Amino acid sequence: MKQNFAEFIKKNKLFTLAQARKSGIYPNLIAYYQKRGLLERVGWGLYKNTSVKLNIPSQWEDLVYAVMGIPSSCVCLVSALALYEMTDEIPRKHWLAIDNKRSSIKRPGVKIIRMRNMQVGQSSIKLGEISVPIFDKERTVVDAFRYLSYEVAIKALKTYLGQRKPDINKLHEYAKKLRVKKIIPYILSLTT
């Protein structure tokens, strides 16, 4: 079992208790290695190999732990806007989306948004050595018009349109798929 565990933590620098169980690693073994200082509990059911540096930028470390600790979640809204530098707002909580069919989850410091069409615009971003699921810029802007204030949404749209190679067609496509008609007049007024 030790060799299996050693291979597992070498391959998975950051892992959940569920991932460990799937690989045949039981909680008592994780607790044992945690007491010995080889593992560190960094979040709700989330562990990290202490001998490896993940090189996650310090301002995003808690966000990485939050999204990795909630299976099938995705960085969205204010957190995504902050990562894409499309807002001046500093997120007080980490904004994560989960499928609307899942029951609500509560975690300290995390704002959970239940959304439809989770696959639309889902992408990933590398923070240090960890790849984190995030909605792309276009989906984030459209969602801002669904869930956030107009002030924040319009600022995000203006910033997005001012970036290199904005994809107006993708914005229209997402707005249509997600039934967000109120963004269309703003796109038209800012692009003509």
In the chain, domain spans? 2-49, 58-191
Q: Which residues contact 123 (CB under 8 A, 6 or more apart)?
A: 133, 134, 135, 136
pLDDT recorded at residue 114: 95
Cα–Cα distance, 97 to 94 (Å, whole number): 10
pLDDT recorded at residue 190: 86
| Mean pLDDT of the residues in the chain | 91
Give residue 102's Cα distance to chain centre: 17
pLDDT recorded at residue 110: 95
Cα–Cα distance, 80 to 152 (Å, whole number): 13
Region of 154 please: left (phi>0), alpha (psi -120 to 50) or beta: alpha
Residue type, 135: F
pLDDT recorded at residue 156: 96
Average pLDDT score over residue span 94-104: 93
Q: Is the pLDDT of residue 79 over 70?
A: yes
47 within 8 A of 15, measured Cβ to Cβ = yes
The pLDDT confidence band at residue 115, using thresholds 50, 70 and 90, is: very high
Most confident of the ranges 35-44, 102-111, 147-156? 147-156
pTM of the model: 0.87
pLDDT recorded at residue 122: 97
pLDDT recorded at residue 188: 87
Residue type, 37: G
Q: Is the pLDDT of residue 3 over 50?
A: no
Residue scoring higher pLDDT (66 or 3): 66
pLDDT recorded at residue 138: 97
| DSSP-derived secondary structure letter, 48 | E
- pLDDT tens profile 7-23: 888 888 889 888 888 88
Residue type, 146: R
Q: Is the pLDDT of residue 88 over 80?
A: yes
Residue type, 20: A
